Amino acid sequence: MSTVASPVVTIDGVVFQLLDDQLCVLLVRRDHEPFAKKWALAGGFIARNETSHQALERALRAKTGVALKDLPFVEQLYTFDTDAVHGGNAISLIYFALYRGGNNSLPDTAQFFPVDSLPELAYNHADIVIYARDRLRSKVMYTNAMFALLPPHFTLPQLQSAYEAVLGYALDKRNFRKKFLLLGLTEMTDTYERAGAHRPARLHRFKQQQLQSLSRSFT
Amino acid sequence: MSTVASPVVTIDGVVFQLLDDQLCVLLVRRDHEPFAKKWALAGGFIARNETSHQALERALRAKTGVALKDLPFVEQLYTFDTDAVHGGNAISLIYFALYRGGNNSLPDTAQFFPVDSLPELAYNHADIVIYARDRLRSKVMYTNAMFALLPPHFTLPQLQSAYEAVLGYALDKRNFRKKFLLLGLTEMTDTYERAGAHRPARLHRFKQQQLQSLSRSFT
DNA sequence: ACAAAAGTGTTAAGAATACACCCATGT
DNA sequence: ACATGGGTGTATTCTTAACACTTTTGT
């Protein structure tokens, strides 16, 4: 069978990070039309001889400096049909990823924005961010995905406020600790974080830095 | 920006149905190489001027006689990169759907097979069916998706064995009825099904024939 | 009257929720 | 000594799970 004319295929990445106890998403400022000067998800075309992962790596690297290997969690989010772009339909593969590298070393044209105060976005990217955020919410409830948003060592109050930032509501401190520790995902270290005029907090770490499903769903 | 050489894009559908209290999946017998004479999911190429839904409709119609409007539930399942087919990479959009039209009116080359005894499948379709089955399992636990596998009117024992077929394990009759009825997804009718030398069973129906999420997850 | 599937409640264990005080540190 | 955030336990409610007999029909 010979080659068939197919739609154009693009890829975009929704990269989340926690900054200052807020859930943030990585955006790039567009240079060209359409939507010049608007912010958008990082993305680009998939070439005929590359996989979607390779295209994601290429686009993220070029536009934000972030490499796939710095994303401890990457997963497919959704594939959209977009009508009538570039003279035919386009298919957009959206990936969704978690990052914990901070805000440094980004080019001027890339920036993390708090998901609750995004600028106006190109295409349907605002909807995609909302969808990705919902997905993240459920991921942290039935998997250990939170490992990918936190530094290797963290305190339980940090962990709790990470959950609160992702879920969007406050949790009871005692119940949170009890339930979370019961899951057995983490282990204590024997070091403490001293941070101001109060009792130091014990540092913990995730036992696994790969995704695993929880036996009992969390929160 | 001009047109870019993109991967070939294909679409496949995983269509489930309950037949004789078994979960079954719709397959078509391939005519041509590759995988001639093997069974496979129904699918085909997406043309440049159509959406993935249109391509799905076209492929399903042509190969199985099933129309999209006869599928009360259709959802995207996953998008695969397939390496090095047709001289470049291919992208496969997989849809997943539920059907309740019986086994009639299928052409000779299309057939529903019980998911527990599938023939050898083309490509990676065996893995895809397993993945789809997992998705279905979780869908019926946190949504009312079961409406799409059952006839408009059904008995509670039928409903229970539908859940058992999808989930793959037996449920306690009293707990099932209690929990399910508490969800309030269905309503009783005042008709009964007489079926053999035993007490007739009351017919129920789903209030909604569209997908809705459950407040509390089921089973 | 008997066989066959439909229908129906209660109890016990486990999970979720609500809630208030003491502890360790820096200034 | 005081201000700040870290750390801890119990009682109640709700949810889940286990379990056996009666009802209605056809033959």
Q: What are A173-190's pLDDT values in tens digits?
A: 999 999 999 999 999 999
Instruction: Decide: CB of A202 under 7 A of nucleic strand C.
Output: no
Provide the pLDDT for residue B84: 63
Q: Please check whether strand D approaches the CB of B179 to within 7 Å.
A: yes
Kindly state the helix (H) or strand (E) to which residue B180 belongs, with its residue range: helix B173-183
In this predicted model, which residue has the larger pLDDT, A82 or B9?
B9
Asked if A45 reaches chain B (Cβ–Cβ under 8 Å), the answer is: yes
State the average pLDDT for chain B: 94
* Closest Cβ–Cβ partner in A4, A48, A52 for B5: A48
Contact B52 A9 (CB under 8 A): no
Dihedral angle sign, alpha carbons of residues B49, B51, B55, B57: negative
D4 C1' closest Cα residue:
A198
pLDDT of B4 reads 55
Does the beta-carbon distance from A45 to B9 stay under 8 Å?
no
Within an 8 Å CB–CB cutoff, is residue B87 touching chain A?
yes
Residue B5 has pLDDT above 90, yes or no: no
Q: Go through A143-154 and write b for each residue having 16 or more CB atoms within 10 A of its CB, e for each that does not.
A: bbbbbbbbeeeb
Nucleotides of D under 7 A from a protein CB: 3-10, 15-20, 23-27
Cβ contact B1–A81 (<8 Å): no
Asked if strand D contacts A32 at the CB level, meaning under 7 A, the answer is no
B75 shares contact with chain A (CB less than 8 Å)? no
Partner residue opposite B48 with nearest CB, options A32, A51, A88: A88
Asked if strand D contacts A182 at the CB level, meaning under 7 A, the answer is no
Question: What confidence score (pLDDT) does residue B104 get?
Answer: 83
List the one residue out of A58, A160, A10 whose CA is nearest residue B9. Answer: A10
Q: Does residue A31 sit at the B interface (CB-CB below 8 Å)?
A: no
Q: Quote the pLDDT of residue B1.
A: 41
Q: Do B3 and A8 touch (CB under 8 A)?
A: yes
CB–CB of A207/A187 below 8 Å? yes
In 3-state terms, chain B is what percent helix, strand and coil (to 5)? 30, 35, 40
Shortest alpha-carbon distance between residue A197 and chain B (Å): 43
Longest dimension (CA), chain B: 73
Q: Is the CB of A179 under 7 A from strand C?
A: yes
- Is 0.85 topped by the overall pTM? yes
Q: For residues A75 and A145, is the Cβ–Cβ distance under 8 A? A: no
Asked whether residue B3 carries a pLDDT value surpassing 60, the answer given is: no
Distances (CA, A) of B104 to A178, A201, B31, B112, B115: 55, 67, 21, 10, 19
d(C-alpha A59, C-alpha A68), whole Å:
10
Contact A76 B78 (CB under 8 A): yes
CB pairs < 8 Å spanning A and B: 84
The pLDDT of residue A88 is above 90: no
Q: Is the CB of B178 under 7 A from strand C?
A: yes
Smallest CA–C1' separation from B175, nucleotide: D17
Q: Does B84 touch chain A (CB under 8 A)?
A: no
Residue A85 banded pLDDT, cuts 50, 70, 90: low
Asked whether residue B196's C-beta has any atom of DNA/RNA strand C within 7 A, the reply is yes
pLDDT, position A84: 64
The answer to whether B29 and B39 are in contact (CB under 8 A) is yes
User: Higher-confidence residue: B81 or B78?
Assistant: B78
Map tokens 């005042």 to a residue.
Answer: B190
